[in-house]
Amino acid sequence: MRLAALPLLALAGCIPSIDRPPEQGGGAVRYPPLPPAPVAEQAGDWQRQSPDAGVTTLPAPRPAWEARPVVADAPAVEAQDYVVRPGDTLYRIASATGAGADAIARANGLESPYRLTPGQRLTVPSGRYHLIRPGESGIAIARAYGVPWARIVEVNGLAEPFILRAGQRVLIPDAAVAAPGPSTAAQRAAAFKLDIEDIVTGGEPALATNQAPAKPASTPRRVLPSTAAVAAPARLAGGFVWPVEGRIVTRFGPGASGERQNGVNIAVPLGTPVRASGDGVVAYAGSAIPSLGGLVIVKHGGGWTTVYGYAARLLVQRGQAVKRGQPVAVSGQTGGADRPAVHFELRRGRTPVDPQSQLPPL
């Protein structure tokens, strides 16, 4: 299955209608205030300091890309022809040659269920193919080889729901371990720059054969281990609402100095509840992207994802199911924020979408 990044304008016909609950003020839904935060001394095990000293998070295991490092041991595979033998399957051929089954299928125009005929001649494309082990994530693979994860997604045609499988082989393009650049695993990991797309498409650990993703938790007290892949909703339930009421101070698209904004920044007072824009499952809660400070990412089904940044306090865990309007964080001025604000993004697949084109006016 090939991954296709749709142009932004092409999304208009597939954007779901946005639900507008009746209690609105200035186009934004009004909710009762968030209960007072527990005092740190009373919170005990429920708070710990994250890498961003201004962000308070719930205790959680390390993300999959840190808990399960990857060894860059992909062998080089020479281009070759392979003649199909009786009993061969595409996966058996991949194992015999060291290439990826998907890469062989693409090179020969094969489509699932990949029926082969004895005597059929297949082209095996050259390259370095990494054999995925249980628990390895796309981010960890990219860090190990010093290659952007987005490049690996593109050359391997990876698509929703971006769940890897143990035993799968992925082609590693432009591998830095075979070219000038960072030479040690530690150097490559330090040079790797994590972004939102990486977490959305490469943050989940690989599943073992026939293993199903974990069911979402209903409470932050049920903490899923780093090795458990999270089951995102199959489809979008309803529409989206704004996570906060406030003034948009940074808009989507090219900025004044040419930088591109993949979301909007909304100015709000410190301590404002940040609410889930729609029903979904938390894909990430932490502060691994320094510029965004306290960060929550929620998957909503149908390829839709929302992002909430600059938070001072995170109220949810990875793998937790949330409802539209449920508090997921408390606003702050963390990361690269130059004022108290909430950074908010709306994405479909790998494509950022302007929230103002889809939600009612703030």
Q: What are phi and psi of 64, to 5 degrees?
A: -55, -35
Determine the average pLDDT of the residues in 80-96: 96
Quote the CA–CA distance of 272 and 312 in Å, as a whole number: 10
Decide if pLDDT at 86 tops 50. yes
Whether the Cβ atoms of residue 148 and residue 132 lie closer than 8 Å to each other: no
pLDDT score of 37: 46
276-309: pLDDT as tens digits: 999 999 999 999 999 999 999 999 999 999 999 9
How many CA atoms lie within 13 Å of 277's alpha carbon, on the beta-carbon side?
30
Quote the CA–CA distance of 303 and 159 in Å, as a whole number: 10
pLDDT score of 292: 96
Decide if pLDDT at 84 tops 60. yes
Whether the Cβ atoms of residue 164 and residue 208 lie closer than 8 Å to each other: no
Pick from 47, 106, 113, 130: nearest CA to 314:
47
Decide if pLDDT at 106 tops 90. yes
What one-character DSSP code corresponds to residue 2? -
Q: Residue 325 burial (CB < 10 Å; 0-12/13-18/19+)?
A: middle
pLDDT score of 160: 86
* E strand or H helix that includes residue 299: strand 294-301
Whether the Cβ atoms of residue 245 and residue 268 lie closer than 8 Å to each other: yes
Quote the CA–CA distance of 351 and 362 in Å, as a whole number: 23
Give the percent of the chain with pLDDT over 90: 69
Determine the average pLDDT of the residues in 297-324: 96
Determine the average pLDDT of the residues in 326-330: 98
Residue of 21 and 325 predicted with greater confidence: 325
Q: Which two tokens stand for residue 200?
A: 């959305």
The number of beta carbons lying within 10 Å of the beta carbon of residue 318 is 27
pLDDT score of 14: 39
Residue of 31 and 361 predicted with greater confidence: 361
- What's the pTM? 0.83
Determine the average pLDDT of the residues in 7-20: 38
Q: Which two tokens stand for residue 307?
A: 């992002």
Quote the CA–CA distance of 171 and 155 in Å, as a whole number: 7
Q: Which residues of 268-289 are buried (b: 16+ CB within 10 A; e: fewer)?
A: beeebbbbbbbbbbbbbbbbbb
Whether the Cβ atoms of residue 57 and residue 286 lie closer than 8 Å to each other: yes
Placement of tokens 């371990």 in the chain: 177
The number of beta carbons lying within 10 Å of the beta carbon of residue 135 is 21
How many CA atoms lie within 13 Å of 286's alpha carbon, on the beta-carbon side?
19
pLDDT score of 184: 76
2, 8, 21, 199, 203 from 284: Cα distances, Å:
25, 25, 27, 8, 8
Whether the Cβ atoms of residue 158 and residue 3 lie closer than 8 Å to each other: yes
Decide if pLDDT at 273 tops 90. yes
**Mean pLDDT for the chain overall:** 85
Q: What are phi and psi of 320, to 5 degrees?
A: -90, 135
132-152: pLDDT as tens digits: 999 999 999 999 999 999 999
Decide if pLDDT at 46 tops 90. no
Decide if pLDDT at 4 tops 80. no
Quote the CA–CA distance of 89 and 115 in Å, as a whole number: 8
173-232: pLDDT as tens digits: 975 444 445 567 777 777 788 999 999 999 999 999 888 999 999 999 999 999 999 888
pLDDT score of 165: 94
Q: What Rg value do the Cα atoms of the chain yield, rounded?
A: 22
Determine the average pLDDT of the residues in 81-88: 96
Quote the CA–CA distance of 99 and 260 in Å, as a whole number: 37
Q: Which two tokens stand for residue 75?
A: 């062998």
Residue of 79 and 174 predicted with greater confidence: 79
Whether the Cβ atoms of residue 144 and residue 128 lie closer than 8 Å to each other: no
Domains of the chain: 16-61+215-357 (2.70.70.10), 76-202 (3.10.350.10)
Q: Which residues of 220-245 are buried (b: 16+ CB within 10 A; e: fewer)?
A: beebbebbbbbbbbeebbebbbbbbb
